[in-house]
Amino acid sequence: MKITGVELRRIAMPLVSPFRTSFGTETTRDVLLVRVVTPDAEGWAECVAMSEPRYSPEYVDGAAEVIRRFLLPALPVNVDAYGVGHALEPIKGHRMAKAALETAVLDAQLRASGESFGRFLGATRDRVPCGVSVGIMETIPQLLSVVEGYLDEGYVRIKLKIEPGHDIEPVRAVRERFGDDVLLQVDANAAYTLADVQHLSRLDDFGLLLIEQPLANDDLVQHAQLAKRLRTPICLDESIESAAHAAAAISLGSCSIVNIKPGRVGGYLEARRIHDLCRAHGIAVWCGGMLETGLGRAANVALAALPGFTLPGDTSGSRRYFATDVTAPFELEGGHLAVPTGPGLGVEPLPDVLEEVTTSTEWITV
Q: Could you give the residue numbers annotated as active site?
A: 161, 261
Is position 219 an interface residue for ligand NPG (rule: CB under 6 A)? no
Is position 286 an interface residue for ligand NPG (rule: CB under 6 A)? no
Is position 214 an interface residue for ligand NPG (rule: CB under 6 A)? no
Q: Which part of the chain contacts ligand NPG (CB under 6 A), choosing from 80-88, 122-130, 147-155, 287-295?
A: 287-295
The secondary structure element, H or E, covering residue 358 is strand 358-365
List CB contacts of 152: < 8 A, sequence separation 6 or more.
none
The correct pick among 33, 269, 291, 303 for binding ligand NPG (CB under 6 A) is 291
The correct pick among 31, 105, 290, 299 for binding ligand NPG (CB under 6 A) is 290
Nearer to ligand NPG, 55 or 309 (CB): 55
Question: Is the Cβ–Cβ distance between 117 and 145 less than 8 Å?
Answer: no
Measured between alpha carbons, how far apart are the two ends of the chain, in Å? 13
Question: Is the Cβ–Cβ distance between 263 and 289 less than 8 Å?
Answer: no
Q: How far is the CB of 38 from ligand NPG (least distance, A)?
A: 29
Cα four-point dihedral sign 42, 294, 189, 50? positive
The correct pick among 116, 189, 222, 318 for binding ligand NPG (CB under 6 A) is 189
Nearer to ligand NPG, 9 or 157 (CB): 157
| CA 207 remoteness from chain centre | 25
Instruction: Please tell me the count of residues contacting ligand NPG according to CB under 6 A.
Output: 14
The residue nearest ligand NPG at its CB is 289
Q: How far is the CB of 134 from ligand NPG (least distance, A)?
A: 8
Cα four-point dihedral sign 56, 62, 63, 66? negative
* Amino acid type, 188: A
Q: At what angle do helices 243-252 and 220-229 cross, to 10 degrees?
A: 40
Is position 217 an interface residue for ligand NPG (rule: CB under 6 A)? no
Is position 263 an interface residue for ligand NPG (rule: CB under 6 A)? no
Nearer to ligand NPG, 266 or 289 (CB): 289
Phi/psi for 61 (5° steps) reads -60, -40
**Nearest-angstrom CA–CA distance, 182 and 173:** 13
DSSP 271-323: HHHHHHHHHHTT-EEEE---S--HHHHHHHHHHTTSTTB-S-BS---GGGT-S
Is position 294 an interface residue for ligand NPG (rule: CB under 6 A)? no
Q: Which part of the chain contacts ligand NPG (CB under 6 A), choosing from 69-77, 203-211, 272-280, 286-294?
A: 286-294
Nearer to ligand NPG, 105 or 260 (CB): 260
Is position 190 an interface residue for ligand NPG (rule: CB under 6 A)? no
Question: Is the Cβ–Cβ distance between 12 and 66 less than 8 Å?
Answer: no
Is position 55 an interface residue for ligand NPG (rule: CB under 6 A)? yes
Nearer to ligand NPG, 170 or 289 (CB): 289
The correct pick among 103, 239, 316, 318 for binding ligand NPG (CB under 6 A) is 316
Interaction site with ligand NPG (CB under 6 A): 21, 50, 55, 133, 187, 189, 237, 288-292, 314, 316
